[in-house]
Amino acid sequence: MGTSSNISILIVEDEPEIAQLIQQTLESEAFSCCVATDGLMALEFFQQQQPDAIVLDLMLPGLDGLEVCTRIRQQHYGKDPYILMLTAKGEEIDRVIGLSTGADDYLVKPFSPRELVARVRALLRRSLRQGGQSSHIYKTKHFTVDLERHIAIRQLTSHSPETLDLTTLEFNLLATFLSYPGRVWSRTQLIDKLWGDDFFGDERVVDTHIRRLRKKIEPDAANPTFIKTIVGVGYKFEDESI
C-alpha cells in the first residue's frame, strides 16, 4: 500500500450504494476508511477513531450533516479533521458550507470517483502547503501565529492574550493574512494559496470562511477592524507590523 494508508477517512452516508462507492474509491487509493450510516454513529466513530478527514452527506436520518459538522467542530480532540460535505444539486452554497459549522469544502452529487479523490487529496494537502514555513512565527500588533506549534493568539487592548479556537483552514487563512499585512488578496489568490490547483468549488466559499474567521477575531464582526473588504477586488488584513 502507498503512503495514503496512514490517512484515515470517515465516510458518513446513509445510502448503501453511494457509501460503498465512496469506500471502494478511497480504499483503492490506499486510504483507510470506515462508514457511518447516520449522524449519531458518525459522532461515535469520530470520537473513537479521530479520522484525518470526513466525507459527510448533508441529508442524514436523525442528525443532518450540518448538525454533525457543528458538533465535531465544538469538540476538542487531538485532530481537527478536514470535512468534505456531500450535497444534492440546488443546495445553496452558504447553507451547504454552513457559516457556523466549519465544513472545508463541498461536492455536489452525482460526482465522479476521480473528482472525489481529487477533492480529498486537495484537502489533505492543505497542511503541507505551510510545510516550508513551519518554523515561522508571524506577528502584528494584535496577533501572533506560530506555524510550528499551530497556535494563534489575539492580544486586544486592555485584555489578556487569548488563544484563538480556529479550524485548520481558518488558521491557515489568518497566517496568510499575517504573512503580508496590508496586502490586498483577491479570492483567486486566496484559493490558490489555501487550496492550490486542485480547487473545484465556487469562489464564494472564500467569503464564507472570511465571515467565519471574522466572527472569531474581530471585536465586532459586522464592522471589521482587521479583515477589510475591498469592493470588487477581495480582502485586506490591516494591523500594524511589529
Instruction: List Cβ<8 Å contacts ≥24 apart for 61-67.
Output: 61/14, 62/38, 63/38, 63/39, 64/39, 65/12, 65/39, 66/95, 66/98, 66/101, 66/103, 67/39
Q: Considering the chain, what percentage of its residues have pLDDT values greater than 70?
A: 82
Q: Which of 128, 152, 167 is the last residue of a domain?
A: 128
Q: Which of 72, 94, 128 is the last residue of a domain?
A: 128
* 242 domain residue, yes or no: no
Comparing 101-105, 145-149, 162-166, 206-210, which segment has the lowest mean pLDDT?
Answer: 101-105
**pTM of the full structure:** 0.58
- Shared domain for 157 and 123, answered yes or no, is no
* 164 domain residue, yes or no: yes
- Using one digit for the tens of pLDDT, what is the confidence trace for 10-47? 999 999 999 999 999 999 999 999 999 999 999 999 98
Q: Which of 107, 128, 149 is the last residue of a domain?
A: 128
Are 209 and 109 spatial neighbours (Cβ–Cβ below 8 Å)? no
- Using one digit for the tens of pLDDT, what is the confidence trace for 84-114? 888 876 655 555 554 446 677 778 888 899 8
For residue 78, the model assigns a pLDDT of: 56
CA dihedral 237, 217, 224, 219 (to 10 degrees): -140
- Using one digit for the tens of pLDDT, what is the confidence trace for 157-179? 767 889 999 888 899 899 999 88
Are 46 and 65 spatial neighbours (Cβ–Cβ below 8 Å)? no
C-alpha cell belonging to residue 215: 466572527
Mean pLDDT of all residues in the chain? 82
